[in-house]
Structure 1
Amino acid sequence: MPRGRPSRATVYLRLENGIAELNDRLGGLPSPKEAEFIWSDIWHLEAHHSTALEGNTLVLREVEALLEQGRAVGAKPLKEYLEVQGYGSAARWVYRQALEPGDWHGGELLTVFEVRQVHARAMAPVWEVAPHPEATDREAPGMFREHDIHPFDDGMKPPAWPLVPAMVTGWVESVNGIAERLRSRTGSTPWPERLAALHQGFEQIHPFIDGNGRTGRLLLNLILVRLGYPPVIILKRERPRYLNALQRADTGDYGPLGELLARAMYDNLNRFVVPNVAGPARLVPLAALVDKEFSLAALRQAAQRGRLDAVHGPDGVWRSTRKAVQEYKRNKGKRV
């Protein structure tokens, strides 16, 4: 374990305590209307990092301009802008569905319709200019694959395509079957590892000809937010750890993936809880200090340039105080 990195058990305990604090102090996860700037920042970061895990090269400021203003800043291939645009649209739909489902929804944790809808929304824009070269008309966004998938590098082979519809239905039933245990966070297996098993199960089925990674992470967040927990963002720098954890999960070892998901959940938990409980002089992660005026990227840039009084911890996280941010706001634009 890297020096200064808390153990898996510690991460699980911190997450458990953080969720309890979220419920005690805020009555649960605030809606996008109640915490618009926090949800917006998560939206940008998720669209950036989740597409970057698949090879997209847009940087965060390009993602923010595209999602907020519809502007294609930079000179990247059109395919990359449409990948981010599709993911951003799907993520917004996921948050809305999770917190304010339509009248047609019957109260389940997840439905097969939602699985297909998430894939369709995420992949439709890019499909218009760069469809999968082997896809037929019956394998368009939102439609299950009718091709077999070659075994992955680690040897895991997704099921034959005729089995996919029944296996997706079975997977959704398994999600709904453990819904109550996930809500109450009970059972002998740590609940982040139950989530890890669900995530790995979807990726192993690989129900679509393309876009399974993005769809799987979006569905995971739909489940989490519907349960009242923060969504997860797997950072692009965590890609090797994430892929290794998925490979370990293929063998039945869900610990590494459960830990990675728990750490990501805890990071976003701090965005919701810490701004509401931190005193003006308490040192907290920059993510907890985001507001309508400054995104996380803007605060990090100010810290790196020395304009915001902040410290860079041994865990790689920048931290500052609410008081320091207020001081930065007062002095922003002045010659230092």
Structure 2
Amino acid sequence: MKTLLKNAREQKGLKTREVAQILGIDQALISKFESGTRKPTKDQISKLSKLLEIDYETLMIAWLKEKILYEIGDDEFALKALMVAEQEIKYNRTVSKLKISATLENLLKEIDLLKAKLDNYRQFDSYRITQALELEYTFESNRIEGNTMTLRETDMVINEGLTISGKSMREHLEAINHQEAIGFIKDLMQRNVTLNERDLLSIHNLILRGIIPEDAGRYRKVQVMIKGSSHMPPQPYMVSKAMEDYFIWYEINKNKLHPVILAAEMHERLVTIHPFIDGNGRTSRLVMNLILLQKGYIIANIKGDYDSRMQYYQSLETAQTKNNKEDFLLFIAQIEKENLERYIGIIAQ
């Protein structure tokens, strides 16, 4: 910036004394600006831009760059900090455009009233009830993905160690693996661990363990298509960067958004990246429910019947292809509300 200021002043044929007089500041300051030993204020940058006819944007960028470099220097975490700062600046510039509809806002208020009510009943929590609801969650999440086991058969496989005649080994493993993945996210919740890439890959590893072992806990290396969807996930070489951005977004927003919105966003963003060969849906729903549990809510169990599944897929499709997440956010919020109402109804009897 110092060279920029000096060259512009000389091209205008002005002396430092004349510039100082016009701007109403000490002449020594102008010399210090040009030598780089002193930085102008933002207001002075604006005045210098007009007087010396330097493009304001060019001068501001040079000024901000020097401020940033002065603050962070060559610290080993400087580049990572800049990446996070870039994402946060982008978020802050667009946050005013993020509008929550009155319908969704009212739904979130209803959810929070139910959560407050639930908090008063926590003393009546029962391991048996929790176990039954987690079994239902495994059953429904697998049913969404095409697993044909009934709720009773899922129970027999998980809790009684039985083999169901006519059901594939994969279907058995899907039931066992998902139940273990629930245990894993509950452990993360109890340890109050912030979701990171290692834990996400561990969740996925549990989901595909013994099913596709070579891809369990690993990002895909090939292009994929989502059956029944017009959304095309990013190319495999873009997945690592997309996932890096995913976690940066989470760090920026984890304490800014309503927990239900945060959970739904993390679900939608992950399944849209589709970072894995298989198991993206189950993993995304587990991530969503980890966040809900960490924030004191309960598992949002999306049912696997035809109507529920179609509504789920259609709201995701709208979010992915039309850049409109309203339907999906409403869908998840409604699911959480219904699950809260049911849970309170059970333990308050």
TM-score (norm 2): 0.64
Matched residue, 1:19: 115
Verify the 8 A CA contact 1:203 1:213 in the aligned structure 2.
yes
Between 1:245-254 and 1:151-160, the stretch displaced more is 151-160
Paired with 1:162 and 1:69, the residues of 2 have a C-alpha distance of 43
Amino acid at match of 1:23: D
Tell me how far apart the structure 2 counterparts of residues 249 and 146 of structure 1 sit (CA, whole Å).
Answer: 25
Letter in 1 for 2:331: L
Distance in 2 of aligned mates of 1:155 and 1:75: 34
Structure 1 residue 160, shift from structure 2 partner? 1.2
Query: Residue in 2 aligned with 1:174?
Result: 249
Q: In terms of Rg, which structure is larger?
A: 2
Query: Cα deviation per residue 1:79-112 (whole Å; 9 max; x = unaligned)?
Result: 21111111111112112221235xxxxx42x100
Could you say which residue in structure 2 is the equivalent of 1:123?
208
Question: Deviation of residue 9 (structure 1)?
Answer: 5.7
Q: Give the residue type in structure 2 aligned to 1:119.
A: H
Judge which range, 9-18 or 257-266, deviates more. 9-18
Matched, 1:249 2:316: no
1:149 paired with 2:224, answer: yes
Higher percent of residues as helix: 2
Where do 1:159-238 residues align within 5 Å?
159-182=234-257, 185=258, 192-237=260-305, 238=308
| Unpaired segments ≥5 residues, structure 1 | 1-6, 102-106, 129-136, 186-190, 279-336
SS in 2 for 1:236: coil
Deviations 1:191-230 (CA, angstroms, capped at 9, x unpaired): 6444333221111111111111111111111111112111
Q: Does 1:260 align with 2:324?
A: no
Contact kept in structure 1, 2:178 and 2:206, CA below 8 Å = yes
Among candidates 224, 236, 239, match of residue 309 of structure 2: 239
For residues 72 and 10 of structure 1, do their structure 2 counterparts lie closer, same or farther at Cα, with a shift above 3 Å needed? farther
Moved more, 252-261 or 207-216: 252-261
| Corresponding position of 1:301 | none
* Residue matched to 1:334: none
The aligned length equals 244
For residues 16-61 of structure 1, the C-alpha deviation after alignment (integer angstroms, 9 at most, x for no partner) is 210122234538xx8xxx5211221121111111111111100000
Alpha-carbon contact 1:62-1:74 (below 8 Å) kept: no
Aligned ranges 1:1-336 → 2 under 5 Å: 11-26=107-122, 35-100=126-191, 107-108=193-194, 110-127=195-212, 137=214, 140-150=215-225, 153-182=228-257, 185=258, 192-237=260-305, 238-250=308-320, 251-278=322-349
Contact (CA 8 Å) 1:194, 1:258: kept in 2 or not?
Answer: no
Distance 1:195 1:254, change over 3 A: farther
Distance 2:227 2:211 in 1: 24
Counterparts of 2:226 and 2:343, CA distance in 1: 40
